[in-house]
């Protein structure tokens, strides 16, 4: 296996580094308006949707260049490329693969310009891990679908203009995966009600969304009726590829080492304590494993092969890292560990407390660790079904 970059890839990496040196101030020097300026700059560079085809307004970059770009950005803690989080993560790729020409023209430029947010209507009360059992109904009547039912845990719903929604259009399929359809729904359609839910950090990032006979024009059907499961699997695998997360985690690990160096255990820097060292070494090893896994997925993508279940391995590592690195950091802080983020004596600005409050995002969102283990066991190791 050759880990070296080609001369062209090295030139691209140097271009990215040069741009970052010139345009990206260190984190503590960025003002509140910086993300906006940054979004414009990277859009002008055509780095938003960098690997999307040029015909739809993307950068036309190849997969390897995209990985280099994301790795460099993450290692400098750059803001995301565009603020349309779900639009860029999976709605856009799903539109590129399954959308009609009209849908692509209508939605993709706005996603690239981060004009508004998209939200994702998959989970329902009592239906999360077993997503294919979803019950929200979509009934075709003439040139409309009539949607009736409820979704829950819908991130960003109260700010989103559009939702990518899964509904059941047919109950007669041989399996529960059949008869699921994907619709694009405007959130201000009559009959849509959003009821925000706050997380334990009191951030109202999620919502219940109710659909009471909501009319969705048939031109907002994504793919074909009954193709919703296939579209979703592709979308979630997109979410799980994970190579760029490695640089972000390495950056966090450096902060953790700094903290261990500055904290004391038995009168000595905690970084000299064998148990602390062992835990940090374990995290470092996991990150290294994630990087090699990420490179393996990348190799498959470069060869034009589909990346699927194997991305669950990195999703599982990420969940572990988010939770356990924050736990160790708070433990190292002793009594200071109980201070709220942003308070005067909070260590490292309280970043680890913030992390501890929001770990569920990385751990549960997109599929819980148990579900990732099931995927690995059944689809990769060929063990009997759960």
Ligand X SMILES: Cc1cc2nc3c(=O)[nH]c(=O)nc-3n(C[C@H](O)[C@H](O)[C@H](O)COP(=O)(O)OP(=O)(O)OC[C@H]3O[C@@H](n4cnc5c(N)ncnc54)[C@H](O)[C@@H]3O)c2cc1C
Name the residue nearer to ligand X (CB basis): 236 or 276.
236
**How many chain residues bind ligand X (CB under 6 A)?**
20
Q: Is residue 371 a contact point for ligand X (CB under 6 A)? A: yes
Name the residue nearer to ligand X (CB basis): 122 or 357.
122
Q: Is residue 377 a contact point for ligand X (CB under 6 A)? A: no
101 is catalytic: no
Query: In sequence order, which residues have a C-beta less than 8 Å from that of residue 19 and are 6 or more positions away?
Result: 45
Q: Is residue 135 a contact point for ligand X (CB under 6 A)? A: no
Q: Is residue 333 a contact point for ligand X (CB under 6 A)? A: no
Phi, psi of 119 (to 5 degrees): -125, 170
Task: Give Cα separations from 201 to 318, 341, 356 (angstroms).
Answer: 21, 10, 9
Q: Which two tokens stand for residue 152?
A: 């829950």
Q: Is residue 238 a contact point for ligand X (CB under 6 A)? A: no
- Count Cβ atoms below 10 Å from residue 47 Cβ, excluding itself: 21
Q: Is residue 213 a contact point for ligand X (CB under 6 A)? A: no
Q: 107, 153, 229, 352: which one contacts ligand X (CB under 6 A)?
A: 153
Binding mask 349-368 for ligand X (x = CB under 6 A): -----------xx--xx-xx
CA nearest 326: which of 362, 293, 296? 362
Name the residue nearer to ligand X (CB basis): 123 or 301.
123
Q: Is residue 203 a contact point for ligand X (CB under 6 A)? A: no
Between CA 271 and CA 283 the distance in angstroms is: 14
- Count Cβ atoms below 10 Å from residue 224 Cβ, excluding itself: 12
Q: What is the DSSP letter of 265?
A: E
Between CA 39 and CA 33 the distance in angstroms is: 10
Q: Is residue 386 a contact point for ligand X (CB under 6 A)? A: yes
Q: Which positions lie near ligand X, rule CB under 6 A?
A: 119-123, 128-129, 153-155, 360-361, 364-365, 367-368, 370-371, 374, 386
* Catalytic (active-site) positions: 239
């Amino acid at each position: 296996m050759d880990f070296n970059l080609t001369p062209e890839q090295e030139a691209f990496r140097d271009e990215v580094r040069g741009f970052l040196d010139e345009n990206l101030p260190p984190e503590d020097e960025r003002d509140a308006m910086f993300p906006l300026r940054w979004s414009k700059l990277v859009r002008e560079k055509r780095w938003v949707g960098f690997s999307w085809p040029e015909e739809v307004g993307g950068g036309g970059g190849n997969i390897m260049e995209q990985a280099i770009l994301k790795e460099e950005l993450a290692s400098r803690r750059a803001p995301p490329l565009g603020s349309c989080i779900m639009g860029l993560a999976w709605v856009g790729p799903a539109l590129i693969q399954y959308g009609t020409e009209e849908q692509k023209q209508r939605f993709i430029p706005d996603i690239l310009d981060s004009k508004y947010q998209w939200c994702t209507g998959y989970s329902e009360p009592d239906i999360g891990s077993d997503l294919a059992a979803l019950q929200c109904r979509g009934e075709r009547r003439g040139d409309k679908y009539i949607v009736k039912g409820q979704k829950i845990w819908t991130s960003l719903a109260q700010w989103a203009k559009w939702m990518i929604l899964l509904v059941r259009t047919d109950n007669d399929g041989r399996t529960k995966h059949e008869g699921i359809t994907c619709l694009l729904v405007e959130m201000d359609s009559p009959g849509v009600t959003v009821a925000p839910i706050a997380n334990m950090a009191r951030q109202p990032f999620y919502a219940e969304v109710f659909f009471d006979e909501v009319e969705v024009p048939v031109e907002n059907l994504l793919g074909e009726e009954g193709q919703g499961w296939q579209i979703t699997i592709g979308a979630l695998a997109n979410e799980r590829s994970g190579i760029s997360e490695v640089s972000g985690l390495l950056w966090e690990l450096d902060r953790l080492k700094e903290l261990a160096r500055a904290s004391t255990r038995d009168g000595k820097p905690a970084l000299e304590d064998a148990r602390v060292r062992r835990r940090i070494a374990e995290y470092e090893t996991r990150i290294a494993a994630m990087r090699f896994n990420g490179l393996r997925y990348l190799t498959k993508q470069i060869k034009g092969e589909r990346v699927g279940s194997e991305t669950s391995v990195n999703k599982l590592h990420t969940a572990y890292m988010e939770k356990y690195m924050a736990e160790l950091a708070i433990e190292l802080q002793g009594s200071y560990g109980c201070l709220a983020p942003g308070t005067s004596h909070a260590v490292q600005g309280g970043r680890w407390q913030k992390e501890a409050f929001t770990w569920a995002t990385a751990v549960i969102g997109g599929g819980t660790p148990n579900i990732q283990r099931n995927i690995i066991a059944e689809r990769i190791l060929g063990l009997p079904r759960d």
